[in-house]
Chains A and B, each alone.
Chain A
């Protein structure tokens, strides 16, 4: 009950934030929600099913490029391009998953496979002239007023509420999944595949479901990115840096937890902004300082809170799920 109230309070704060926040703060909050959303999508694969993907930019990039290309070249509205982008990303996830899981590629080797797929897709997209190649793909910026959800053109506030809805939706979806058979199957696969199999779980199918779902959700995040920033470059959209950005929030917040990715994004994004702002205020330019600080905070987390911030924090504030008993009874 207390947890539900706290969640609602947090949600109301985000819903009402635009009343108080200026354009800059609003843009930071968009990034927070965007990272929270992607972190949750990645968490399904790594946190729930225990499959490490270090190439998640592949799915975000595919969703972004497919939907944006349909819009730029044929004027297909985002609402129709989105399913196409998701479908391509899910298919890519199925290919990566099927290859990896069918041939028993596990752990770091599977992670390497995911990187390889993202990398050669990057190279591929750098050589498609109709999608801008290395020069990038630019979406025509129409009116910044108004709200056109079907085409994803309009006011920054529209984007803010859209990504907020996506982050909340992902949270509700993950919570639902963990209470279902497939959620339990993922946990079993994460903990011990041999034991999971002995209990009748089709491990291949469970892992494939996790990859495809995670890929589809990530693709929707990529579509948001494309239409919010209006520019796409293969080096960024499919880059290793993007993949790392995606995994930081859930690791810092708490792998496998529902709230971890959100908390991680709430910590890391403002931290990054603070560093950028601080160095600018002090009048010196230090490229990479943000990344350095991210790296240090990651080190600190691994050293002092290896389960992430959220499992520690929820014990401190008495939100531990082990305390409140008898939910289903």
Chain B
């Protein structure tokens, strides 16, 4: 048996913003069915990596492949149609239309039939606990609910790969656990592959199979969640060199 080709391949990614090298040689692989967390201190370049995968930014160098197919030069809508769903760190709900319509728009990615899209939208809203709020305009939701809506909308596009950008931030621990359980179930039942950027370690530890750590745009280390949090290089990039030594 040969090794399966990874669902997502990121190789030597580089991105400069004027003089600043925001991402500098980041590489990692995500196999189908994996849950991988991308962590690192603020400003490490995590969201920039996401934006390059999702097509919002074009890398200056490096390779991104989805199931063996290069994503170079694709627009965000083409990357979505290729099977990548994403959420935004700063949530972007369609404020003046209903919660359900928000999700219907996601489902219309794969179907032209609005009734069918609505059926899936209701399923997804049920799953994320937004069913009773589906008639409300999205702007009236609280921040945790808006985060759920971001996830619901992305899920409705039926992605092969889901990119979650800090969806747990601002949630209470109980809500975090519920969200973690939802992703675990999706991962187990439908084989959904997830890459998440997360600061909430409670979620990272519970959810991820593997953790990729980056700092100042450079890769630091990679491994299982338990081994990564004990790695002195990781402690160093969060707390500084001296703290790591003692």
Residues of A within 8 A of B92 (CB): 192, 194-195, 198
The yes or no answer to B218 lying at the interface (CB within 8 A) is no
Q: In the complex, which of the residues A192, A198, A322 contacts B86, with contact meaning CB atoms closer than 8 Å?
A: A198
Chain A nearest CB from B139 CB (Å) reads 10
How far is A329 from B108 in the complex, measured between Cα atoms in Å? 17
Among A184, A195, A328, residue most surrounded by chain B Cβ atoms (within 10 Å) = A195
Residues facing A in B97-136 (CB within 8 A) are 97-98, 101, 104-106, 108-109, 112, 114-115, 118, 135
Contact with A along B135-169 (1 / 0, CB 8 A): 10000000000000000011001000000000000
Size category, B interface? 20 to 34
Give the number of residues in A that approach B within 8 Å (Cβ atoms). Answer: 24
Measured in the bound complex, the distance between the Cα atoms of B56 and A188 in whole Å is: 17
User: What 1/0 mask marks residues of chain B from 56 to 81 whose CB sits below 8 Å from any chain A CB?
Assistant: 10000000000000000001110011
With beta carbons under 8 angstroms apart, the residue of B56, B76, B101, B157 that contacts A187 is B101
In this assembly, does B88 line the interface, its C-beta being within 8 Å of a C-beta of chain A?
Answer: yes
- Contact among A191, A200, A203 for B95, CB-based, below 8 A: A191
**8 Å CB interface, A147-186 against B:** 179-181, 184-185
Residues from chain A with Cβ under 8 Å of B112 in the complex: 180-181
- Of listed A181, A199, A256, residue having the most chain B CB within 10 A: A199
Across chains A and B, the number of contacting residue pairs, with CB separation under 8 Å, is: 79
A236 interface contact, C-beta 8 A: no
B94 interface neighbour in A180, A195, A202, A328, Cβ under 8 Å: A195
Contact of B80 among A200, A256, A322 (CB under 8 A): A200
B179 contacts the other chain (Cβ, under 8 Å)?
Answer: no
In the complex, whether A279 has a CB less than 8 A from a CB of chain B is no
Contact of B105 with A187 in the complex, beta carbons under 8 Å: yes
How many Å from the CB of A241 to the closest CB on chain B? 30
Contact with B along A234-274 (1 / 0, CB 8 A): 00000000000000000000001000000000000000000
Chain B residues near A328 (CB, 8 Å)? Answer: 114-115, 118
Least distance between B95 CB and chain A CB atoms (Å): 6
The B-contacting residues of A in range 57-96, CB under 8 angstroms, are none
Q: List chain B positions with a Cβ less than 8 A from chain A.
A: 54, 56, 75-77, 80-81, 85-86, 88, 92-98, 101, 104-106, 108-109, 112, 114-115, 118, 135, 153-154, 157
Identify the A interface with B (CB < 8 A).
Answer: 179-181, 184-185, 187-188, 191-192, 194-203, 256, 322, 325, 328-329
